[in-house]
Structure formats: C-alpha cells, structure tokens
Amino acid sequence: MIAPSGWRIVDFLSDVHLDASEVATFNAWAHHLNTTPADALFILGDLFEVWIGDDTQDFFHLQCQKVLRTTAKRLPVFFMCGNRDFLMGSQWLQSSGVQGLQDPTVLQLGDQKILLSHGDALCIDDTDYMAFRREVRANAWQQAFLSKPLAERQQIAKELRSQSKARQQLQTAYVDVDAPSANAWLQENDCTLLVHGHTHRPASHDLGNGRSRMVLSDWEADATPPRLEVLRWTQASQQFSRVCVSA
C-alpha cells in the first residue's frame, strides 16, 4: 500500500477495547476520531473488547459504527483484525465505511516502508495462546461459531474471556513479540520498521541491522494516569511521535 502524497498526518492506534461499560474510553475515542487533524487513520486490531459477529446490533455497537461512518466520510479509515475482534467481517466494514487490511500489511509512508501488524502472531512463546489462535482462525471453527444463535455466542465469548484472564494470572513471565520473528518479517517484506499493538507496552525497540519496532498503547480512560495514546506520523518531519488524547 502506497500512501498518497497528500497525507500530511497519519494516526495509528490499537487495543482500544471498546465496551459499553467503558464509557470514558468510548468518549475519548469518539472525540479523537471527530477532531483528529489526520489525513488517514489506521486501527491495528482490538478496537472492540470482543466481537461475536457482524449481526451484533445493540445500541452501543451502533454508536461505534456511527462514529466510524462519520469519520470515514472525512478521511480514510483502515482496520486490521486483532485477537479480540478477528471475527469482524465485510458486512461490518461496509456498514462502517472502513477499509479492511490484511495482517501484516506493508505501507509505503513517505521515504519509509513500514510493516503494520496487530502483533499477536509474533508472540510465539505464548504457546497456549498460539494453539488457541490456530483453532479459532480456522474457517471451520468460525463458520460453526457464527452459525450459533447470538445469545449462545455471547455466552461462549464470556467463558473464553474468563479462561483467558485465568490463564494470564497463572503466567509467571510476560510474553513479548519474538525479536527474531519480527526481524524475519521485516526482512521478508523489505521493511525497516514494524508498528504493532497487542502487548499493551508502548515502546520503541532496536532490532539491529537498521530495523526497529514501535509498540502502540492500549486505551483505558479510567486508568491512573489515563492510557489514551495515538502514534502519529507527520510528513514534514518524516517521523513518528506519541500523542496523548484528552479523556
């Protein structure tokens, strides 16, 4: 994907985890989308806390869709599935005016080729999650899940989230992106920079050989201090900066 020369400002965000119970986070996200000076917006996964199918049509999700649709009329909005919303389908994308992205995607931005990813596929040391990921990303599993009634899918999603939280509490070591795998991805795609989310640990990492990765923040308006951060690229400087969004 080659960015048009007219893109002066580009915003990247991920792991917003929109949920009806997190009103302040929704308000901060909606305000940013309504007011950002960016010429394009990239959402790199886990926009929602959970997604159980494009037939989810409750009031909260319709509100989110309205915000996206309004923003997409003003600037292009791109979306890449994460580990929470990997069931996002073409119906939702079309209704929201959002353009889908494959994971990973190469973006030519100014003078630099950037590799965009949610990041979960690179956390290979988390063997339990990787096994789960292979299972739920299979077409057969997804077709079987989406064929179930909405109420049953909601219950299954609730149980899966409980299992995930319990597994995370039992982990004794934090699992990060595997550096050799990230380097291999960059080399295969002829890129020097990887931009990703998923790990909730915003930082910049030197991978050697002129390659690096930048990690996006998760969003939580009620945290102390609030975590509401966008990674912003500007054409004038050809560089990235971290911008804190108002709660």
Supply the range of the domain harboring residue 93.
Answer: 9-120+177-244
Is 145 among the domain residues?
no
Phi then psi for 24, rounded to 5 degrees?
A: -65, -35
Is 144 among the domain residues?
no
pTM above 0.85, yes or no: yes
CA end-to-end span of the chain, whole Å?
32
What's the CATH number where 27 sits? 3.60.21.10
Phi then psi for 99, rounded to 5 degrees?
A: -100, 125
Is 169 among the domain residues?
no
In whole angstroms, give the CA distance from residue 121 to residue 86: 12
In whole angstroms, give the CA distance from residue 128 to residue 174: 13
Q: Which of 36, 178, 127, 192 is nearest to 13 (CA)?
A: 36
Is 62 among the domain residues?
yes
Phi then psi for 4, rounded to 5 degrees?
A: -60, 150
Spell out the per-residue pLDDT of the chain, length 247, in tens: 999 999 999 999 999 999 999 999 999 999 999 999 999 999 999 999 999 999 988 999 999 999 999 999 999 999 999 999 999 999 999 999 999 999 999 999 988 999 999 999 999 999 989 999 999 999 999 999 999 999 999 998 888 888 777 776 666 678 899 999 999 999 999 999 999 999 999 999 999 999 999 999 999 999 999 999 999 999 999 999 999 998 6
Is 65 among the domain residues?
yes
What are the tokens at 16? 């917003």
Is 189 among the domain residues?
yes
